[in-house]
Amino acid sequence: MHTERKPISGGSSNQQGSEAGVILEGPNELLIEQALRFAFKASNNQKEYEALIAGMLLAKEMGAQSLLANNDSLLVTGQVTGEYQVKDPQMATYLGYVQVLKGSFTVFELVHVLREQNV
């Protein structure tokens, strides 16, 4: 099963927490949307990592063997692809989990897309 994950662009943060979303596109026009609500105020990059991880877990649960993920955070994409170093310990924790999850797929690719194109 080939699954393409595109996080819903944008998210919001307030004192009650933060929100983000994931859209999984699969074969035969399968479309799964998942809204994420965090009980903590998250930075944009935290939300991008959380959405990526949620999408990876959902794709894994659906039995996907390959995953093409779009992400509009240049920092997150660069860290996952190894182009950027991770300096923040919290981002390093997120990256470590993504690296573990990558092993669940025979093919995993993360592509940076402009925020305007991430719909």
The pLDDT tens digits of the residues spanning 19-49 come to: 676 776 777 777 677 776 766 677 888 888 9
Do 52 and 78 meet the contact criterion of CB atoms below 8 Å apart? no
What pLDDT shows up at residue 60? 92
Among 56, 108, 115, which Cα is nearest to 82's? 108
User: How far is 82 from 6, CA to CA, in rounded Å?
Assistant: 20
Rg (CA), the chain: 13
Is the pTM here over 0.85, yes or no? no
What pLDDT shows up at residue 93? 96
Residue 78 has pLDDT above 90, yes or no: yes
**What is the overall mean pLDDT for the chain?**
79
For each of the domains in the chain, give its residue range(s) and CATH number, in order of start: 2-117 (3.30.420.10)
Residue 16 has pLDDT above 50, yes or no: no
Between the alpha carbon of residue 18 and those of residues 2, 11, 31, 51, the distances in Å are 30, 7, 24, 12
What pLDDT shows up at residue 32? 73
